[in-house]
Structure 1
Amino acid sequence: MKCIIVNDDSEMRKTIGKLIGHSRGMKLLSVFNSTSEAALFLRDNCVDLVFFDIQMYDVKNLEFIQNISERTFVIYIPEFSPFVNTTKKPQLEQLSESTIAKRFKKGVDEARIFLKLIKKEKPDILDDYFVI
């Protein structure tokens, strides 16, 4: 699977990049800290999977999401983790590596299923498939 990361948090980009590097069959094509750069890249490149920080402070987030191909699976990454019980923005190192890896694997497994169904040309899958 060819993938990109769109996230303005450098620690999160590193963590996701590391997980991609350790995952069989995945290739990280590029990393972006803005949706405008990522949108330009997507115009000329075929991408299977986008890891996207839904809470980036980029006014073009909605426009970016709307222009992603229907055949591209998007895994939305929140700025904060729902696993840490605190009112402050948690540091990435506070999260256990196993928790991050498990969530990453689950998302990637869903992407693999989606992409297999797309390749089998099941036209109705696009209407029913949305994962957060």
Structure 2
Amino acid sequence: MKKEFTCIIVDDEPPAIRLLEKYVGKVGFLKLEKTFNKSLQALSFLENNPVDLVFLDIQMPEITGIQLSKIINKKTHIIFTTAYPEFALESYDVSAIDYLLKPIEFERFYKAVKKLLPKENESVIEKSNEKEYIFFKTDGKNKFAKVFLKDILFVQGLKNYVAIQQNSSEIITYNTLKNLKEMLPKKNFIQIHKSYIVSIKHIDSIENDAIWIQDKQLPIGNTYRKEFFEKINQNEL
């Protein structure tokens, strides 16, 4: 395994550069080579000094971060840093390993750079313990419905009840959205609004401040916007 990954920071905001410098200094397997506040200066450096990773702001003078990422060596990993979540989908075109929304917290930063390391092998035991279904109480005191997680499209909170929407049916159960959020696996489901938790794999499209699942349009709430766009840019999707 490679012991050290070289990197540079490209951002036109000095406070952002200082924060990333601080974070890089806390990670033992990262080595900061240089910082730049102009895209063309960074490009000139990279032509003669290849690095493993570039922390790249998207809104930059001269040329944008997206444009720069398409020019530099394809072997160089990119982690975009920006204050604008609407650029998230555009980052797919250049296969960035992650997309960090400002203000960036160290925990989120570390999760992104860990993607440079080889993934730990999942054990057979861990796979066998993954949840496949949940029983939900429905009508009557002793009636429960078996719901396979793979069939859930989204869950809607209705005060003291939740509606679990599947392809061809809907189940109403006495519960709260908060409780269901704890029950559903985080790698497959995400809350996008105070009233909605959705299955990531069933999202058909994202348009402005809404997502589409089949013929249903569901809003993305401001409170959940940052986490949502970070999630859809992670490799686990």
Q: Could you tell me the TM-score, scaled by structure 2's length?
A: 0.39
Q: Which residue of 2 aligns with 1:107?
A: 112
Deviations 1:19-57 (A, max 9, x none): 111111211000000110000000001200000001223
Match of 1:50 in 2: 54
State whether residues 58 and 82 of structure 2, in contact with CA within 8 Å, keep that contact through their aligned partners in structure 1.
Answer: yes
Q: Where does structure 1 lack aligned partners over 5 or more consecutive residues?
A: 83-91, 115-129
Partner-residue secondary structure (3-state), 1:12: helix
Counterpart mapping for 1:1-132 below 5 A: 1-79=5-83, 100-113=105-118
CA contact (8 A) 2:57 2:65 kept: no
Q: Unaligned regions of 5+ residues in structure 2, if any?
A: 87-101, 120-232
Amino acid at match of 2:42: A
**Deviation of residue 60 (structure 1)?**
5.0
- Report runs of 4+ in structure 1 exceeding 4 Å deviation: none
More strand by percentage: 2
Q: How many residues align?
A: 103
Structure richer in helix, relative to its length: 1
Aligned alpha-carbon RMSD (Å) = 2.6
2:234 and 2:60 map into 1 onto residues whose CA distance is 19
- Secondary structure in 2 matching 1:70: coil
